[in-house]
């Protein structure tokens, strides 16, 4: 072989690879070190949660929703509750709305700190991984103090929240926030000024604003490219409408937007600060009052059983826009429960941002959209001959299903 001929080689990153925390297969074609083509495949950890949910009543689904994602386990039940509340026209007490915001923002702090550690680890900078995860313990401690659990908090309930934050608990939250104020400065120093981090992340994996808009990218990934979109700002839920949140872009700190990995890291760092401010405001402005719409769960269940309506909820999860759609039809279990996790939208950025990267950039660039694979997984559909159905066939099937559903909706009955 002549030297001028470049040999193309295909490398599979995943489903099991040290760079990935969850199974996804990213197939990169490389020329030397340069990535020429990228494809990815999902479906390694599909659990059929929606399917299970269609055989449970809403209170039972709440527990399932909490287990969709190990990290966003406030966002998912919050979205589910809001969807059901929208469907059933349940009015949530104001104090509960504020409490929901506090828990959601605590979750955001913990998720973003986790991401910063993972990003550092992908760069080989393990000292920062251990540092960020060490400081993350403090937020997990306060979550445990408030809810009784570090990860699966089980505080949300349809029509309210199950645990109040008492006056005695507030000083401890404030103490934690003060601790993070100090840590935040240090984290900024690390991520903004470290030369090796800058060398590895600046102008790598660039996603332009046009691409972000075209691919419908959501959350911090979109904001890092300069798209000012944030569900908390655009379609406020819970108490966010009172709090007047503004979407954060890298321009807030750096006066320029490049849409690279560095920007995506910085946006998340800035959002940690934003979340701290939101919690502080909530603690100050939170009104007194009940925290549950209906404390007797049997009554609530009976009420939900009467509902024949559909509800959509949009929630800004740490990774971006999370959508839950639910349709009730005078039955115990919902007829449709659909989850669109933010990673499912952001996945489509992967081929675009990996193009023309080096192989060494692949782990950090993939990690920079902060993928949560288990949220995003879809089943691979096969017919009896064990062939994966192609796009046309799937489209045909979904049109049929949609038609059946709309007919169903008009008539108010029919099979599903």
Partner 1 sequence: MIEFIYFGLEALIIILLALFIALLFNGIERKLIARMQARIGPPITQPFIDVKKLFIKENIVPDNAIPWIFNAMPLIALASSLLVLLYIPFGGMPALLQNYGDLILVVYIMLIPSLALAIGAFASGSPYASIGAQREIVIMISYEFVLSVIVIAVAWLFSLAFPQANAFSFATINEHAIWSVAGPVGIAGLLLLFISSLAVMPAKIGKLPIDIAEAKTEIADGVLVEYSGRNLALLHMAQATRMFAFASLIVALFLPWNLSNIFSLSGTLALIGDFAFFLAKVFVIMFVSGIFVSAASARLKIDQAAKCYISFIFLLSLIGLMLIGLDIML
- What residues numbered 397-416 form the site for partner 1, per CB under 8 A? none
Position 191 contacts partner 1 (CB under 8 A):
no
Region binding partner 1 by CB under 8 A among candidate stretches 191-199, 286-294, 317-325, 374-382: 191-199
Tokens standing for 144?
């445990």
Q: Taking CB under 8 A as the rule, does residue 386 contact partner 1? A: no
Among positions 149, 330, 331, 358, the unique one binding partner 1 when judged by CB under 8 A:
358
Asked if 123 interacts with partner 1 (CB under 8 A), we say yes
User: What distance in Å separates the CA atoms of residue 239 and residue 246, rounded to the nearest whole number?
Assistant: 14
Return d(Cα 300, Cα 231) in angstroms, integer.
28
DSSP structural state of residue 366: H
For partner 1, the closer of residues 119 and 279 by Cβ is 119
| Nearest-angstrom CA–CA distance, 170 and 399 | 52
Instruction: Please work out the total of residues on this chain that contact partner 1, with binding judged by CB under 8 A.
Output: 31
Given 8, 55, 130, 174, the residue binding partner 1 (CB under 8 A) = 130
Return the residues of window 134-153 that contact partner 1 according to CB under 8 A. 134
- Burial grade of 59 (CB within 10 A; 0-12, 13-18, 19 or more): middle
- Please state the separation of Cα 87 from the chain's center in Å: 23
Contact between 39 and partner 1 per CB under 8 A: no
Give 140-196 as a DSSP string.
HHHHHHHHS-SS----EETTEES----GGGHHHHHHHHHHHHHHHHHHHHHHHH-HH
Q: Which residues, at least 6 apart from 287, have a Cβ–Cβ distance to it below 8 Å?
A: 94, 95, 98
Cα–Cα distance measured from residue 266 to residue 253, given in angstroms and rounded to the nearest whole number: 9
Closer residue to partner 1, CB minimum distance, 76 or 121: 121
Check binding of 370 to partner 1 (CB under 8 A): no
- Looking at the Cβ atoms of 129 and 375, the one nearer to partner 1 is 129
The verdict on 356 binding partner 1 (CB under 8 A) reads no
- Burial class of residue 65 (count of CB atoms within 10 Å of its CB; 0-12, 13-18, 19+): buried
CB of 188 to partner 1, least distance (A): 17
Q: Residue 55, CB half-sphere, CA atoms under 13 Å: how many?
A: 4
Find the shortest distance in angstroms from Cβ 195 to partner 1: 8
Task: Tell me: does residue 192 bind partner 1 (CB under 8 A).
Answer: no
- 11 lines the binding site for partner 1 (CB under 8 A): yes
The reply on whether position 360 binds partner 1 by CB under 8 A is yes
* Distance in Å, CB of 358 to partner 1, minimum: 6
CA-based radius of gyration for the chain: 22
Q: Among residue numbers 307 through 346, which ones bind partner 1 (CB under 8 A)?
A: none
Structure tokens at 66: 């909490």
Nearest 5°: the CA angle 218, 96, 168 is: 115
- Is 126 near partner 1 (CB under 8 A)? yes
- Longest C-alpha distance within the chain, in Å? 78
CA 288 to chain centroid, in Å, comes to 30
182 part of the interface to partner 1, by CB under 8 A = no
Q: Which CB, 127 or 298, lies closer to partner 1?
A: 127
Q: Which is nearer to partner 1, 120 or 139 (CB)?
A: 120
Is residue 116 involved in binding partner 1 (CB under 8 A)?
A: no
Which stretch, 197-205, 219-227, 256-264, 405-413, contacts partner 1 (CB under 8 A)?
Answer: 197-205
Euclidean distance between CA atoms 357 and 365, whole angstroms: 9
362 contributes a contact to partner 1 by CB under 8 A = yes
Q: Pick from 76, 121, 223, 327 the residue near partner 1 by CB under 8 A.
A: 121
- Name the one range near partner 1 by CB under 8 A: 98-106, 294-302, 325-333, 355-363: 355-363
Between CA 357 and CA 360 the distance in angstroms is 8
Angle value at C-alpha 54, between 48 and 56, nearest 5 degrees: 110
User: Residues 217, 363, 370, 374: which binds partner 1 (CB under 8 A)?
Assistant: 363
Residue numbers of the site for partner 1 (CB under 8 A)? 9, 11, 17-19, 30, 32-33, 120-127, 129-131, 134, 194, 196-197, 199-200, 358-363
């Amino acid at each position: 072989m002549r030297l001028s001929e470049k040999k193309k080689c295909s490398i599979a990153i995943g489903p099991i690879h040290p760079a990935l925390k969850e199974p996804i297969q990213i197939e990169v074609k490389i020329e030397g070190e340069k990535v020429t083509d990228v494809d990815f495949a999902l479906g390694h950890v599909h659990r059929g949660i929606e399917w299970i949910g269609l055989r449970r009543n809403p209170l039972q689904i709440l527990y399932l929703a909490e287990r969709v994602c190990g990290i966003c386990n406030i966002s998912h039940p919050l979205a589910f509750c809001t969807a059901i509340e929208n469907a059933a026209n349940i009015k949530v007490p104001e104090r509960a709305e504020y409490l929901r915001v506090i828990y959601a923002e605590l979750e955001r702090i913990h998720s973003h700190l986790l991401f910063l550690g993972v990003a550092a680890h992908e760069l080989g900078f393990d000292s920062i991984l251990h540092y960020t995860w060490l400081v993350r313990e403090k937020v997990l401690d306060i979550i445990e103090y408030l809810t009784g659990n570090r990860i699966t908090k089980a505080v949300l309930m349809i029509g309210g929240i199950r645990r109040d934050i008492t006056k005695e608990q507030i000083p401890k939250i404030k103490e934690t926030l003060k601790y993070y104020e100090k840590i935040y400065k240090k984290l900024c120093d690390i991520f903004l000024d470290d030369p090796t981090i800058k060398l590895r992340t600046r102008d790598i994996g660039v996603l332009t604003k046009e691409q972000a808009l075209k691919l419908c990218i959501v959350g911090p990934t979109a904001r890092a490219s300069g798209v000012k979109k944030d569900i908390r700002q655009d379609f406020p839920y819970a108490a966010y409408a009172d709090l007047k949140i503004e979407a954060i872009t890298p321009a807030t700190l750096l006066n320029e937007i490049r849409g690279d990995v560095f920007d995506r890291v910085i946006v998340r760092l800035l959002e940690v600060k934003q979340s701290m401010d939101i919690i502080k405001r909530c603690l100050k402005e939170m009104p007194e009052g009940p925290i549950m719409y209906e404390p007797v769960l049997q009554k609530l269940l009976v009420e939900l059983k009467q509902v024949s309506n559909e509800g959509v909820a949009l929630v800004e999860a740490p990774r971006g826009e999370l959508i839950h759609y639910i349709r009730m039809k005078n039955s115990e279990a919902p007829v449709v429960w659909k989850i669109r996790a933010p990673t499912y939208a952001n996945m489509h950025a992967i081929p675009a941002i990996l193009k023309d990267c080096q192989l060494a950039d692949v782990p950090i660039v993939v990690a920079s959209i902060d993928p949560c694979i288990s949220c995003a997984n879809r089943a691979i559909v096969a017919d009896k001959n064990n062939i994966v159905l192609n796009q046309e066939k799937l489209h045909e099937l979904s049109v049929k299903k949609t038609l059946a559903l709309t007919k169903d909706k008009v008539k108010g009955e029919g099979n599903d």
